[in-house]
Structure 1
Amino acid sequence: MTPNLLLAAALPPGLVTFLPFVVIIAVFYLLLIRPQQARQKQWQQMLHNLKPGDRVTTSGGIRGTILSIKDDAIQLRVPPDNIKMEVVKSAIASVTTDEPAK
């Protein structure tokens, strides 16, 4: 007998047909789910570290400077007319400026 036949004979037939599905699920986890969880964690950390004076961009594309932070809302000053607006904290997409270089 060849080695392939011995391996196929040693595994139960149900396991041989189920094995490709397990491999596909593992690949999806490693390529899609795990990186998304890392991005979500990084975004949550960014929201936690927001402070007044940070320049931010919202998911709608509005750029402004944080004036104050409440539990779930942030008050922004938006140029050029220094309009004050309040946005939901989860609408912040990115911090456009970090702390100045030392």
Structure 2
Amino acid sequence: MFATPAYAQAAGAGGGAGILIPMVLVFAIMYLFMIRPQQKKIKEHQAMVQALRRGDQVVTQGGLIGKVVKVKDDNELEVELAEGVKVRVVQTTIAQVLSKTEPA
């Protein structure tokens, strides 16, 4: 009437491989739809920040619009918000470049 212990253990041995395939598929889908596009966006932002030069009109992440007056080597910009109002800004806080200047 009852199954022997050896027979009962043999039936449950194949269940470990069944969960591995869905986990690999979930990771692959997450990589394709979440991780890879985010990495691409970060690379584009870094390229935009590296291409900043004097005269570019930019928008900061805080929503301030200004013109780049000076690009410093230590990851810093000087941005003129209004006539005579200049602020120092970290380069990575630039959200968007509105207009680019022509290279001299």
Aligned residues: 88
Mark the structure with the bigger radius of gyration.
Answer: 2
Show structure 1 runs of 4+ deviating over 3 A. Answer: none
CA distance in 1 between counterparts of 2:25 and 2:19 reads: 11
Number of the residue aligned with 1:55: 57
- The within-5 A match list for 1:1-102 is 13-70=15-72, 71-79=74-82, 81-99=83-101
Q: Report the TM-score when normalising by structure 1.
A: 0.79
CA distance in 2 between counterparts of 1:62 and 1:73 reads: 16
CA distance in 2 between counterparts of 1:82 and 1:54 reads: 17
Q: 1:94 to 1:31 in 2, by over 3 A?
A: same
Structure 2 SS opposite 1:52? coil
Gaps of 5+ in 2: 1-13
Gaps of 5+ in 1: 1-11
Number of the residue aligned with 2:7: none
Q: Report % sequence identity.
A: 34
> Which residue identity does 2:85 align to in structure 1?
I
Structure 1 SS opposite 2:96? strand
CA RMSD of aligned residues (A): 1.4
Q: Report the TM-score when normalising by structure 2.
A: 0.78
> Which residue identity does 1:73 align to in structure 2?
E
Structure 2 SS opposite 1:60? coil
Q: 1:91 to 1:72 in 2, by over 3 A?
A: same
> Which residue identity does 1:42 align to in structure 2?
E
